[in-house]
Amino acid sequence: MSGRRQAVAEFLPWAGLAASFAGLAVVHQWGSDGSFDSCIDHGFGRIAVYLLLGMLIGASGVIVSARLLGRDAESRPRRFVASLSLGAAALFAMAMLLPTIASALIPRCFG
């Protein structure tokens, strides 16, 4: 196996963690920071679009990590890291929902 393929194979269990963190960064930076810190005209609809984008980014990594759980040939540490990535992705998904809920409840530029 080439060095690049080996590096990709070693990253696969971590894909859920990395992608869901990237999705959270999208939702947080473009969504909640734009609404509440900069007072940009971001209503609930625009933040919901950012939420969907962030969830799609996170789901792409979750699918990759979840596929590793079902393989019998995978080593035990790789399955553990894949399950850890799935748990972290669930926490990040909840963190993505919070600014969306806040945008529906709290008026813009509150404070």
Each domain of the chain, given as residue ranges in start order, spans 26-73+89-106
The answer to whether residue 52 scores a pLDDT higher than 80 is: yes
Sign of the torsion angle spanned by Cα atoms 50, 56, 60, 61: positive
The answer to whether residue 34 scores a pLDDT higher than 80 is: no
Across the range 86-106, mean pLDDT stands at 88
Confidence of residue 109 (pLDDT cuts 50, 70, 90): low
State the Cα–Cα distance between residues 84 and 79, nearest whole angstrom: 9
Q: Give the closest residue to 21 by CA, choosing from 55, 67, 68.
A: 55
Q: Could you please report the per-residue DSSP string of 66-96?
A: HHHHT-SSS-HHHHHHHHHHHHHHHHHHHHH
Confidence of residue 35 (pLDDT cuts 50, 70, 90): low
